[in-house]
Structure 1
Amino acid sequence: MNQTIPQFGLYGEGRWIDHPDFVHIEDIAARSSHLGWHIKAHQHTQLVQLLLLKSGSVQLQLDTQTRFLEGCWGIIIPPGTVHSFRFAPQTDGRVLSISDALLGDEYANSAFVTTSGCLNFNGDDEEFSHLWQLITLLEHEFHHVKDHKNALIEHLLKAILVFVERHHTVNVAQRQTQDELTLQRLKSLVNTHLTDHWKLTDYATQLNVSDKKLNRLTLQAYGKTVIQLTHEHLLMEAKRHLIYTQKSVEQIAYDLGFKDPGYFSRFFKRCENITPGQYRQQT
């Protein structure tokens, strides 16, 4: 039996092969209709995906969260997010897949491509219409060989990202403060060094701030200390493996950087009030 969460470049096409210029767009029906409109749980390690629903509905799972969406929606799926879809038959929409390497510094660490989310375009017909036109133009260029094809696709892609970011961010025009940038960099470091079990001092040193200031920033922004945030991320990864793999609790503990599986079980129970094995049975 498969011991890992399925990882794909595109669903059903094997593991991701690094290609820095990768962009792909397709109709939702193209990949899901012959699968009973059901895409099983999987993840992409180096792809950001944007799903744009024009009509129909979907039962969506992002990690441990389940939502039902109907009508006009945008769905952002960052690299590493375990996700699955159960579409209503004849759902109309597009799936845009972008290599994270292609995003560049301008978007690679932006909140709207590093945090999964659902953008409600119901009631905002004009904004959705403009975004849909851009997606349609990009799809047309993608499937035809014409002069300056790559350049036009790049410009259309940037325009689409601007529309998504505009809808995702409440105050796009406001520039980030230094504290906000520090918190953004902290999120990236937590993701990178999660299984290294860094201490508060490690993060503070890397970010060139004091331990006290870094904890103050996270408490103000999230109501949690840095270590509480890292534990929250560790717990999420543990849940992913318990739900989506057949690995033993011991193997999951080692994969997450715990040297003692017993300590991992105590850590999980302290956070969830049940053991990892009990959590797996319940879910």
Structure 2
Amino acid sequence: MMSSLPGVPLFQLYGENHAWPGTDLLHCESIPARSRLHHWEIKPHRHAKLFQLLYVQRGQAQVEIEGKRSEICEAAIQVVPPLTVHGFRFSADIQGHVLTFGTALVADLEQRLGAPLAVLASATCYPLGSDRHRLHALIDTLQQEYQGNAPSRAAMLQALVTALMVWISRRQQSGQLPRNRDERDRQLLGRYLRLVEAHYREHLSVDTFAARLGVSSLRLNQLCRDLAGQSALQVVHQRLLLEARRNLVYTRMSIGQLSDSLGFSDPTYFARFFKRLSGQTPKGYRQSARHAPA
């Protein structure tokens, strides 16, 4: 269990300890692209605020989830929720992809589907069976869209990911109650992350968030530090920073307009906030992003 594995590394994206890359809320790459660099083995680790789908098209994958090992020997999708300790060992002929979602994308998908994506809360493997050709075409198209820059790329990615989530949700078995304290803690953190996603622009206090979750602010802070490696307030600040970065890159909003849209009362305070967390001024970040290679 996670509480008995204090040495398990907490990664953002495999071994990358920096923040969620860029402004995309989705990351997609082939399994060989990264696992080949690590001799076909990804050692046990966990992610604080990232959901992952391991899509095995062909080949074999040995999966370790919370200390339990299993093998994937057929086309399948393995769900890996945030904070789940997991590791993989692949055969050299492995083919497939790893899809990684930020919590903001999951919240957007839930809004589109009109229901919580409970399927992402359980580390379950879903064999593709007779749907394997259809799912391969869907995920292959998603990978091509992700790597490209065609018009309406974001809309197409959202549609493809939504279709994938609908397929997995239809395969999900009936839900189960949390089995132990670790699982309850992970679900509580998940509830907090969803609450932050809905209200981060309002700059609510940690006490307010804790009250809405029915726990003390001390409990919420301890939970976030233990499982996410950040305080409850830092979780909110990182979500504000992500949205600020996205708007600086993808919109023409002035700094003042962006400050207002994110709930800051003073653009000067917003600029100080942004520089403290990112090391750059909002204007400097926008300029460097525009001159960065595609």
TM-score range, shorter chain: 0.5 to 0.7
Match of 1:158 among 141, 155, 162: 162
CA shift for structure 1 position 101: 2.0
Match of 1:27 among 30, 49, 66: 30
Mapping for residues 171-250 of structure 1, pairs under 5 Å: 191-192=187-188
Helix, strand or coil for the counterpart of 1:79? coil
Match of 1:96 among 86, 99, 105: 99
Counterpart in the other structure of 1:254? none
- Measured at CA, do residues 110 and 129 of structure 1 come closer, stay the same or move farther in structure 2, by a change above 3 Å? same
Counterpart in the other structure of 2:123? 116
CA shift for structure 1 position 155: 0.8
Find the aligned partners of 1:135 and 1:119 in 2 and give their Cα distance: 15
- Measured at CA, do residues 41 and 190 of structure 1 come closer, stay the same or move farther in structure 2, by a change above 3 Å? closer
Q: Which moved more, 1:102-111 or 1:83-92?
A: 102-111
Find the aligned partners of 2:53 and 2:186 in 1 and give their Cα distance: 24
* 2:86 alignment partner AA: H
- Work out whether residues 13 and 20 of structure 2, in 8 Å CA contact, stay in contact via their aligned partners in 1: no
Confirm or deny that 1:144 pairs with 2:151.
Answer: no
Find the aligned partners of 1:145 and 1:64 in 2 and give their Cα distance: 40
Root mean square deviation of aligned Cα: 3.4
Q: Which moved more, 1:60-69 or 1:77-86?
A: 60-69
Counterpart in the other structure of 1:223? none
Confirm or deny that 1:84 pairs with 2:90.
Answer: no
Match of 2:44 among 32, 41, 44: 41
CA shift for structure 1 position 138: 0.8
Find the aligned partners of 2:15 and 2:212 in 1 and give their Cα distance: 39
| Structure 2 unmatched ranges of 5 or more | 190-210, 215-222, 228-294
CA deviations 1:210-239 (Å, max 9, x no partner) are xxxxxxxxxxxxxxxxxxxxxxxx9xxx9x
- Work out whether residues 51 and 95 of structure 1, in 8 Å CA contact, stay in contact via their aligned partners in 2: yes
Match of 2:69 among 66, 71, 82: 66
Find the aligned partners of 1:18 and 1:74 in 2 and give their Cα distance: 24
* 2:14 alignment partner AA: Y
CA shift for structure 1 position 80: 0.4
- Work out whether residues 83 and 186 of structure 2, in 8 Å CA contact, stay in contact via their aligned partners in 1: no
- Work out whether residues 51 and 96 of structure 1, in 8 Å CA contact, stay in contact via their aligned partners in 2: yes
